[in-house]
């Protein structure tokens, strides 16, 4: 649902940003829950990812791939950056501390999400021994359910290159990478009974 001019608007229009955020924040937290098992870290990484989105939205080119692929590319970079830097460095540079925003309900909900993504996390760990470039494609396709084209966009490579790397990765990991079971992420909101729907007039 990106606008024709891409996502440049989300860097300076709070409403446009909110639309984008609401569309993708669930996917981003799940992305991190498939890789780390600490709710506080997931909150921090989610905050970091959207801060990075604001900073780089102007560079998004819709013709090169989907929003989600682009977003996952950012999320990967955020996670890689997290792993490269020390906790002290992170504290000094982190712009929005996501973990500070968590309350007990959030932690319980994120733990449930982490639990639901356990299989994906195992898969992610299982392919960690593959060469980086091949693993990156396989990770996005097998763990995150991106298409090869989306994975290519996320990684900034050509789709053909991604297909080759995916083929090699699958070949090397043959036998060890069963298809990921469907997510059992539980609904996080209590059941809602809709009493009535008020007609909303559209202009």
Give me the phi and psi of 186, to 5 degrees please. -75, 155
Give me the phi and psi of 30, to 5 degrees please. -65, -35
Q: Is there a contact between 74 and 56 (Cβ–Cβ < 8 Å)?
A: yes
Using the minimum distance from each CB to other proteins, give the nearer residue, 105 or 179.
105
CA distances from residue 66 to 14, 18, 35, 143 in whole angstroms, order as listed: 21, 18, 22, 17
DSSP per residue, 35-85? T---HHHHHHHHHHHHHHHHHHGGG--GGG--HHHHHHHHHHHHHHHHHHS
Using the minimum distance from each CB to other proteins, give the nearer residue, 23 or 163.
23
Q: How far is the CB of 9 from other proteins (least distance, A)?
A: 9
Q: Assess 85 for contact with other proteins (CB under 8 A).
A: no
Q: Assess 26 for contact with other proteins (CB under 8 A).
A: yes
Using the minimum distance from each CB to other proteins, give the nearer residue, 86 or 203.
203
Q: Assess 174 for contact with other proteins (CB under 8 A).
A: no
CA distance 67 to 164: 23
User: For the chain, how big is the Rg over CA atoms in Å?
Assistant: 18
Which among 89-97, 115-123, 165-173, 175-183 is the span making contact with other proteins, rule CB under 8 A? 89-97
Q: Assess 58 for contact with other proteins (CB under 8 A).
A: yes
Tell me which residues in 28-47 interact with other proteins (CB under 8 A).
29, 43, 46-47
Using the minimum distance from each CB to other proteins, give the nearer residue, 41 or 47.
47
Q: Which of 7, 10, 138, 151 binds other proteins (CB under 8 A)?
A: 10
Q: Which residues bind other proteins (CB under 8 A)?
A: 1, 8, 10-19, 21-23, 25-26, 29, 43, 46-47, 50-51, 54-55, 58, 95-98, 101-103, 105-106, 109, 188-203
């Amino acid at each position: 649902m990106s606008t024709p001019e891409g996502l440049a608007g989300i860097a300076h229009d709070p409403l446009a940003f909110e639309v984008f955020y609401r569309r993708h924040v669930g996917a981003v937290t799940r992305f991190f829950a498939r890789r780390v098992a600490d709710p506080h870290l997931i909150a921090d990484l989610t905050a970091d990812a959207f801060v990075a989105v604001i900073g780089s939205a102007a560079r998004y080119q819709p013709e090169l791939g989907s929003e989600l692929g682009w977003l996952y590319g950012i999320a990967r970079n955020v996670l890689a950056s997290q792993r490269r830097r020390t906790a002290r460095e992170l504290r000094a540079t982190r712009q929005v501390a996501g973990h500070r925003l968590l309350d007990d309900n959030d932690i319980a909900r994120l733990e449930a999400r982490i639990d639901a993504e356990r299989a994906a996390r195992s898969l992610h760990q299982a392919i960690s021994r593959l060469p980086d470039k091949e693993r990156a494609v396989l990770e996005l396709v097998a763990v995150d359910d991106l298409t090869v084209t989306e994975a290519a966009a996320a990684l900034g490579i050509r789709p053909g290159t991604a297909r080759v790397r995916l083929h090699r990765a699958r070949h090397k990991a043959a036998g060890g990478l069963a298809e990921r079971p469907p997510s059992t992420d539980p609904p996080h909101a209590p059941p809602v009974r809709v009493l009535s729907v008020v007609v909303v007039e559209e202009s």
